[in-house]
Amino acid sequence: MDTVVAAPRALLGRTITGPASVRVRAGRIVEVLAGDPPARAEVLTGGLLTPGLVDVQVNGAVGIDFADVDAEGMLAVARALPRTGVTRFLPTLITAPVPVAIRQARAVLAASAALPEGVGARPLGVHLEGPFLSPKRAGVHNPALMAEPGAAEIDQLLDDEALRGALRVVTLAPEQPGGMAAVRRLVEAGVLVAVGHSDATGEQTRAAAEAGARMVTHLFNAQRPLGHREPGVPGVALVDERFTLGLIADLAHVGPDVCRLVFNAAGHRVALVTDAMAAAGMPPGRYHLGGEVVVLTEDGVPRSPEGIIAGSALTLDRAVRNIVSVGVDLADALASATIVPADAIGETGLGRLAPGAAADLVWWDDELRPRKVWVGGEVVFDADAPVPADGKLGYAAAGQ
């Protein structure tokens, strides 16, 4: 039986309009109607209806590190994310030796497959952020575990039966020996290649785009910086229309003025990401990111014991609010957390309110906080419903 959700305002494409209604059948949107709600519709009072948010870089959350995850841990994350408006996410693994990365990825995929239907956000595969990175731009990744992307290493990834079709993104440094050939091979295999943790020059970054790279992982962070003569990774990424720009908008990784600059220059290509790690949604304390110790302090920014920023405790709804707070148009900010990341990974049935798309919906209140969330037409979060006693739907602090 069809269900209809009606709202006074809705994000359709990249425009906020309304009133509008969305008709859902068997987990998918079958019709989007303008004007007054039809009979028997669920009428939302106030606020805004949007597609579900899509986060393509999540290392973990609520105390769970995807490098060491089981079915129970994946369930905890999947249950927690809808409180932040996220309906689909891409579990991300940081640098480890290739055989270890494959083992970790298999565990992620097994835990994802074990998720019960109708419960929480849904994983979209695996994002490998490493080990083919530059030791010069390591961040908190362990340089000793990094590897050059030789043919044998790429073979291991592409020949693994469990990873076939599930390896969605590989972040690498294209200037490393074998890097450009690796970009081409991965792209030919249907994997999105992102430039990240890279000391590539502007020329090398452009060459990576020629080879098929189509994204930049956490723009400005852990990459050769923008210069007025040598543009580095960010300079080319901002002007090359082929790149989608991943941006961690916690206003600590990238300051407010530069976030606004990025949107002014290339707002239609920005994909907001959290780069969240186990500390997201948790109180200050010691956590792990890919086996490395990370400390979350009262300022809400996870750091290594040496003081290097390590992932984030950001939530995607807060990233949207942050971007709006620096002066970016609301529709543009929301598009950067919905349709842009979905399209970047080839998920054209996500991130939009349109016939044929998955019925992933978020109802926001007037302060841009998720009030109700649907995944595949099923309600997975309702702010007016009691919070389970297990506390696994947290994010109370992180979502502020």
CA atoms within 13 A on the CB side of 20: 19
- pLDDT category, 293, cuts 50, 70, 90? confident
165 and 84 within one domain: yes
Three-state DSSP state, 392: coil
Q: What is the mean pLDDT of the segment spanning 350-363?
A: 98
The DSSP string of 277-327 is -TTTTS-SEEEEETTEEEEE-TTS-EE-TTS-B-SB---HHHHHHHHHHTT
Res. 310: pLDDT tops 90: no
Answer whether residue 175 is part of any domain.
yes
Res. 395: pLDDT tops 50: no
CATH classification at residue 35: 2.30.40.10
- pLDDT category, 291, cuts 50, 70, 90? confident
Tens digits of residue pLDDT in 228-272:
999 999 999 999 999 999 999 999 999 999 999 999 999 999 999
Answer whether residue 119 is part of any domain.
yes
Catalytic residue among 250, 275, 317, 360: 275
40 and 148 within one domain: no
Mean pLDDT value across the chain: 94
Contact 311, 275 (CB under 8 A): yes
Tally of structural domains, the chain? 2
Answer whether residue 272 is part of any domain.
yes
45 and 186 within one domain: no
14 and 112 within one domain: no
228 labelled binding-site residue: no
57 and 45 within one domain: no
225 and 288 within one domain: yes
282 and 373 within one domain: no
Contact 313, 275 (CB under 8 A): no
Rounded-to-integer distance, Cα 298 and Cα 148, Å: 38
298 labelled binding-site residue: no
Percent of the chain with pLDDT over 70: 96
Domain hosting residue 369, numbered range = 3-49+355-382
299 and 174 within one domain: yes
56 and 44 within one domain: no
147 and 28 within one domain: no
Nearest to 265 by CA among 296, 292, 229, 241: 241
57 and 40 within one domain: no
218 labelled binding-site residue: yes
Record the tokens describing residue 244, joined without a space: 């989608």
Contact 250, 312 (CB under 8 A): yes
Rounded-to-integer distance, Cα 299 and Cα 107, Å: 32
229 labelled binding-site residue: yes
Q: Is 18 exposed, middle or buried (0-12, 13-18, 19+ CB in 10 A)?
A: middle
108 labelled binding-site residue: no
Judge whether 159 counts as a catalytic residue.
no
Between helices 151-159 and 98-113, what is the axis angle to 10°?
20
Answer whether residue 391 is part of any domain.
no
CATH classification at residue 129: 3.20.20.140
Rounded-to-integer distance, Cα 366 and Cα 234, Å: 34
Rounded-to-integer distance, Cα 186 and Cα 70, Å: 28
pTM of the model: 0.95
191 and 254 within one domain: yes
